[in-house]
Amino acid sequence: MKMKMNPNLHLNRSKRMVEYDYSRPGRYYITQCTQNRAYLFGDVVNKEMYLSVCGRIVKQELLKLPEYHCRIVLHEWVIMPDHIHAIIELGDYGFNNGVAVTAGQFHEIDLPKFPTREQYRLSRRNMLIPKIMGKFKMQTSKQINIARNTAGRKNWQTDYDDRIIRNDAEYQRIVEYIRNNPGAW
């Protein structure tokens, strides 16, 4: 017998803003943690982050994000022992960052208003930010598992935190937070 999800008991609800189109142009502040907050990516020593082999894999793939789609611009980012922070900007529809390797790799769709949350949840998988994060986690996990000889191991938490950056003052506060993160560790 299949048990129904009870939101008071089951805490794996999405952290996404309900009915927001995560393909819209704008700046997004993303935080993605490792599975079980494992320290995979290196160590902070004297307020400076030193990357491990796994951390270098994450850095290499993070820098490739603009290659995933022509609307992606990577702003400030940091890799910490058990998580990453990044600001990802999606340019206007029709924007071309000049570095995307496959223009049609992620197909965008026009998102109508959905009558139910379930229909919205299912459509969210086709939005650009979730696709970016899905590919990033898949690519890094594949390489990390090869490096660690841990085939099939889950390296990232299922969900990530995001914040839609609404103005320049908020953007500057987040940039400073990212830059100061190793020093505050």
| In the chain, domain spans | 26-180
How many Å apart are CA 85 and CA 40, to the nearest integer?
A: 15
For residue 146, the one-letter residue type is I
Q: What is the pLDDT of residue 20?
A: 86
Q: Within 13 A of 5's CA, how many CA atoms are on the CB side?
A: 6
Q: Give ∠ CA 90-123-128 in degrees, rounded to 5.
A: 15
Cα 92 to Cα 13, 56, 72, 131, 150, distances in angstroms = 30, 31, 10, 17, 40
**Mean pLDDT value across the chain:** 86
Instruction: Look at residue 124 and tell me whether its pLDDT is greater than 60.
Output: no
CATH topology of domain 26-180: Alpha-Beta Plaits (3.30.70)
pLDDT band for position 105 (cuts 50, 70, 90): low
pLDDT band at 68 (very low <50, low <70, confident <90, very high): very high
Confidence of residue 12 (pLDDT cuts 50, 70, 90): very low
Q: How many CB atoms lie within 10 A of CB 79?
A: 23
Phi then psi dihedrals of residue 135, to 5 deg: -65, -45
- Predicted confidence at residue 126, as pLDDT, reads 75
Angle 10-163-93 (CA atoms, 0-180°, nearest 5)?
115
- Range with lowest mean pLDDT among 124-128, 159-163, 181-185: 124-128
Taking the C-alpha atoms of residue 145 and residue 126, their distance in angstroms, rounded to an integer, is 26
Whole-angstrom distance, CA of residue 101 vs CA of residue 87 = 21
Residue 70: predicted pLDDT: 94
What is the chain's Cα-based Rg? 17
Quick count: other Cβ atoms within 10 Å of Cβ 45?
Answer: 10
Greater confidence (12 vs 179) lies with: 179
Average pLDDT over residues 15-35: 87
> Is 70 exceeded by the pLDDT of residue 13?
no
pLDDT band at 34 (very low <50, low <70, confident <90, very high): very high
Contact assessment for residue 34 and residue 52, using Cβ atoms and an 8 Å cutoff:
no
What residue type is 41 in one-letter code?
Answer: F
What confidence category does residue 5 fall into, taking pLDDT thresholds of 50, 70 and 90? very low
* Confidence band, pLDDT 50/70/90 cuts, at residue 101: confident
How many CB atoms lie under 10 A from the CB of residue 48?
10
Distance between CA atoms of 15 and 159, rounded to whole angstroms? Answer: 8
